[in-house]
C-alpha cells in the first residue's frame, strides 16, 4: 500500500503540473506520514542528498558553460567546425553535430548546447536554404553529446546515486567513445538526408583559414582538456577541476577573447545560480524519494520481476533499455538518474554488466528521452529556438532517432565501447 501511495501521489502531482522536484518531495513525505516515520528522518534524508562534496563540482561546471556561451566561445567553435567540415554536401548539418561535440564536451549540458549553438546555427542554416525541421532535428539530437562527453554533471549525479562506489573520473572517460560514436552516427544521418534533399555544400575556405579558426578556438577547447586532464592526472579532484575550469573560462573570455562584458557576466551568474538551485532542490527531494523506494525494497522486487519474465541477460538488458527510454520521455533526466540508478543498477550487475557501462546505457537512453515527446525538454527548446512547430519536427526526426538507437545498441552489447578507455587509462 505504501508503494502505491508513493507512486500515486507522485503521478497526481506531475499530472496537475507540480514541478518534478516538489512532486518527489511531496510523495516521499506522504509515505513518511503513512508509515509513521519521524519527520526528522525525512529532513535528514533531504539534507543528506545534497551534503555530498562531489556535488560542489556541478555549479562550477554550470558557471563555466554559461561563461563560454556568453563569452563568445561557442561562436568560435562554430567557425572552426564550419571551416573543417562545412565543405561536405549538406555540411552545415555536420557542422552542427561537430560543434555540439565540441561545445557539449565543455558545457556538459544538452539544454545549454541547444541554447548556445541553436541560436547561432539554426538561423544560419535556414538562411542557407536548409529546411527548419532539418536544422532543429540535427541541433536537438546532437545536443545529447553534452550528456556523454566529459565533463558532464549528469555523470556526477550517477556517481552520487551509487553511493560513491563508481569513480567520476572513470565515468568521464567512459563517456568519450559512446559520445563520439553517437555524433558520428548523427553526422552520417545528417549527410544522407542532406543529399536526399539536395542541400548544397559550402566552399572550403582554405587550410590557412582553417588553421586560424583552430587557433582562435583552441583556448576554449582547452577548457575540457584541462578539466579532464587535471582529474585524470590526479592534479585536481573533480570539484577542484570544476572550479579551475570556471576560472580558466573567465580568464579566457576576459583576457584572451575580451568578449565578456559586465551585462553578460551578470547574466551568466544569474543563470548559473538559478540552474544550480533547481538542480540541488531536485537532488534533495529525489534523495528522500529514493529512500522510500529502498524502504519498500523496490530494487529487489524489480530483480525478481525481470527474472520472472526471463533469465536471459539479453532480454533483461533490453527490458531495462525500454523502461529507461519510456521514463526518459516522461520525466526530468536528473531525477531519473537519482531514482532509477538504485533500482536498475543491481539488476544490471546481476547479469554481469559493469556499472560504468550501465551508466553510459542510462545516459544514452535518458538523452534520447530528452529529444522525444511528450515531455522532451530538448525537443521543446529546439522548436522554440528554431521557431518551428513540434509536429513538423516529429514527422522528420525519426532517422536521427534510429541513428541514436544504433549507437545505443552498440554501447549496450559491446562493452569495449565504454570500457576500453577507462581500463586503458585508469589501470
User: Where along the chain do its domains lie?
Assistant: 53-426
Q: What pLDDT tens digit does each residue of the chain (427 aa) get? A: 778 888 888 888 878 878 878 888 899 899 988 888 888 888 888 888 787 777 787 888 888 878 877 787 777 877 887 787 767 777 778 888 887 777 765 655 676 667 767 777 788 788 778 888 898 899 889 888 878 888 777 888 898 888 778 888 889 889 999 999 999 999 999 999 988 888 877 777 778 888 988 888 888 778 777 777 777 777 777 788 888 888 888 998 888 888 888 888 998 889 888 878 887 888 888 888 888 887 888 777 777 887 888 888 899 999 999 988 888 887 778 788 888 888 889 889 888 899 999 999 999 999 888 888 766 778 877 887 788 887 888 888 899 999 999 999 999 999 999 999 988 877 6
Give me the pLDDT at residue 105, please. 58
Quick check: 27 and 2 in contact, CB under 8 A? no
Give me the pLDDT at residue 107, please. 58
Look at residues 157, 119, 156, 153 and name the one whose alpha carbon lies nearest to residue 272: 153
Give me the pLDDT at residue 411, please. 95
274: cell is 538559478
Look at residues 288, 295, 390, 376 and name the one whose alpha carbon lies nearest to residue 339: 288
End-to-end CA separation in angstroms for the chain = 47
How far is residue 295 CA from its own chain's centroid? 29
Look at residues 47, 90, 327 and name the one whose alpha carbon lies nearest to residue 186: 90
Q: What is the pTM of this model?
A: 0.84
Quick check: 369 and 328 in contact, CB under 8 A? yes
DSSP states along 44-107: HHHHHHH--GGGGHHHHHHHHHHHHHHTTHHHHHHHHHHHHHTTSTTHHHHHHHHHHHHHHHHH
DSSP secondary structure code for residue 427 in this structure: -
Give me the pLDDT at residue 357, please. 94
Give me the pLDDT at residue 161, please. 85
Query: What is the C-alpha to C-alpha distance for residues 83 and 213, in angstroms, rounded to an integer?
Result: 7
Amino acid at each position: 500500500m505504501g508503494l502505491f501511495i508513493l507512486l500515486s501521489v507522485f503521478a497526481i502531482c506531475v499530472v496537475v503540473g507540480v514541478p518534478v522536484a516538489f512532486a518527489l518531495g511531496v510523495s516521499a513525505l506522504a509515505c513518511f506520514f503513512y508509515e509513521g516515520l519521524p519527520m526528522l528522518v525525512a529532513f535528514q534524508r533531504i539534507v543528506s542528498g545534497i551534503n555530498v562534496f562531489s556535488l560542489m563540482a556541478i555549479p562550477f561546471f554550470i558557471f563555466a558553460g554559461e561563461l563560454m556561451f556568453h563569452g563568445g566561445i561557442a561562436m568560435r567553435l562554430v567557425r572552426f567546425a564550419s571551416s573543417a567540415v562545412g565543405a561536405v554536401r549538406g555540411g552545415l548539418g555536420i557542422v552542427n553535430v561537430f560543434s555540439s561535440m565540441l561545445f557539449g564536451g565543455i558545457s556538459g549540458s544538452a539544454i545549454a548546447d541547444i541554447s548556445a549553438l541553436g541560436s547561432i546555427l539554426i538561423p544560419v542554416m535556414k538562411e542557407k536554404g536548409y529546411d527548419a525541421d532539418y536544422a532543429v532535428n540535427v541541433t536537438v539530437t546532437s545536443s545529447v553529446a553534452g550528456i556523454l562527453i566529459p565533463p558532464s554533471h549528469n555523470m556526477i549525479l550517477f556517481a552520487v546515486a551509487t553511493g560513491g562506489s563508481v569513480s567520476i573520473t572513470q565515468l568521464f572517460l567512459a563517456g568519450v567513445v559512446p559520445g563520439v560514436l553517437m555524433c558520428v552516427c548523427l553526422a552520417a544521418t545528417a549527410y544522407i538526408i542532406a543529399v536526399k534533399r539536395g542541400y548544397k555544400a559550402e566552399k572550403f575556405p582554405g587550410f590557412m583559414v582553417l588553421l586560424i579558426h583552430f587557433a582562435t578556438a583552441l583556448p576554449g577547447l582547452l577548457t575540457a582538456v584541462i578539466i579532464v586532464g587535471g582529474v585524470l592526472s590526479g592534479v585536481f579532484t573533480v570539484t577542484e577541476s570544476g572550479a579551475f575550469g570556471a576560472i580558466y573560462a573567465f580568464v579566457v573570455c576576459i583576457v584572451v577573447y575580451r568578449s565578456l562584458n559586465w551585462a553578460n557576466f551578470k547574466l551568466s551568474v544569474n543563470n548559473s545560480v538559478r540552474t544550480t538551485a533547481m538542480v540541488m532542490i531536485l537532488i534533495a527531494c529525489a534523495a528522500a524519494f529514493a529512500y522510500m523506494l529502498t524502504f519498500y525494497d523496490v530494487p529487489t522486487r524489480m530483480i525478481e520481476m525481470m527474472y520472472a519474465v526471463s533469465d536471459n541477460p539479453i532480454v533483461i538488458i533490453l527490458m531495462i533499455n525500454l523502461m529507461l527510454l519510456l521514463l526518459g520521455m516522461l520525466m526530468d533526466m536528473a531525477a531519473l538518474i537519482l531514482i532509477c540508478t538504485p533500482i536498475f543498477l543491481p539488476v544490471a550487475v546481476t547479469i554481469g554488466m559493469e556499472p560504468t557501462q550501465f551508466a553510459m546505457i542510462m545516459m544514452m537512453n535518458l538523452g534520447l528521452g530528452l529529444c522525444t515527446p511528450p515531455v522532451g525538454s530538448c525537443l521543446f527548446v529546439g522548436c522554440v529556438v528554431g521557431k518551428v512547430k513540434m509536429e513538423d519536427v516529429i514527422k522528420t526526426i525519426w532517422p536521427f532517432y534510429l541513428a541514436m538507437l544504433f549507437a545505443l545498441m552498440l554501447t549496450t552489447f559491446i562493452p569495449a565501447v565504454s570500457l576500453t578507455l577507462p581500463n586503458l587509462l585508469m589501470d
